[in-house]
Amino acid sequence: MQLILIPGLWLDAGSWHGVVPTIDDAGFDAVALTLPSSPETHLADWVAAVVARIDHAGEPVVLVGHSGGGNVAWGAADARPEAVSRVVFVDTVPAPDGASIATFPVVDGVIPFPGWDAFDAPDVADLDGPTRTRVAAAAVPVPASVPTDPLHLHDRRRHGIPVTVLSGGADADELDAQLAQWPSFRDEWQAIVDREVVPIGSGHWPQFSQPQRLGELIVRAVER
């Protein structure tokens, strides 16, 4: 079975480098993606790129989306609900129809990596100095429209796809409390028939701080 690994903002296929061996050693086929990055690219183009990989697989796949990549994963699952056996969200949740990722400063049609100071301290606490330097140096500017484009969902069969949220720190009760502040996200979450929350015990980028553990938790979710 293929596990399609979708990076978050500013990341590419290389961001999954430390996670892929654990998945492959478990007998799965990890396919890490680099998404289109031209200034004219939209969120729909990212979703289409994942849908193309699903179609190419020719069999049901698992989608794994980190951060903003979770919106992409959920959009692709909505487009191909019959071909997705599970969606794993890494420190993010399924977004409702019309939701966008976030807003960041745009420079010359793209969004450069804003630096680690732009993120909350708990999100980056487990990233050491060399890791921060390495990740920042490899960061890919994000097309300006991608984070602010609304996610368009059409097929309620997506709610029948099993979902695992690998949360940096929140357990199921804490996640429910957080989602209570965002009714549309809460409603989307509660509409999913088979859902689980598994705390990682990490910041927002476990693929860098705890790659083996993240790989193990992804495998565990797939084998559930």
Identify the pLDDT of residue 94.
Answer: 98
Domain count, the chain: 1
Identify the pLDDT of residue 220.
Answer: 98
DSSP string computed for 19-64? THHHHHHTT-EEEE-----STT--HHHHHHHHHHHHHHH-S-EEEE
Identify the pLDDT of residue 157.
Answer: 98
Query: Could you tell me the CATH number of the domain that includes residue 153?
Result: 3.40.50.1820
Identify the pLDDT of residue 224.
Answer: 86
**pTM of the shown model:** 0.98
Phi first, then psi, for residue 93 (nearest 5°) are -135, 165
Output the tens digit of pLDDT for each of the chain's 224 residues: 999 999 999 999 999 999 999 999 999 999 999 999 999 999 999 999 999 999 999 999 999 999 999 999 999 999 999 999 999 999 999 999 999 999 999 999 999 999 999 999 999 999 999 999 999 999 999 999 999 999 999 999 999 999 999 999 999 999 999 999 999 999 999 999 999 999 999 999 999 999 999 999 999 999 98
- Tallying the residues shown for the chain, one arrives at 224
Q: What is the pLDDT of residues 137-166, one digit of tens each?
A: 999 999 999 999 999 999 999 999 999 999
The position carrying tokens 């903003």 is: 68
Q: What is the pLDDT of residues 80-110, one digit of tens each?
A: 999 999 999 999 999 999 999 999 999 999 9
Identify the pLDDT of residue 14.
Answer: 98
Domain hosting residue 219, numbered range: 2-223
Identify the pLDDT of residue 222.
Answer: 98
CA torsion sign for 181, 185, 188, 193 is negative
Euclidean distance between CA atoms 105 and 157, whole angstroms: 36
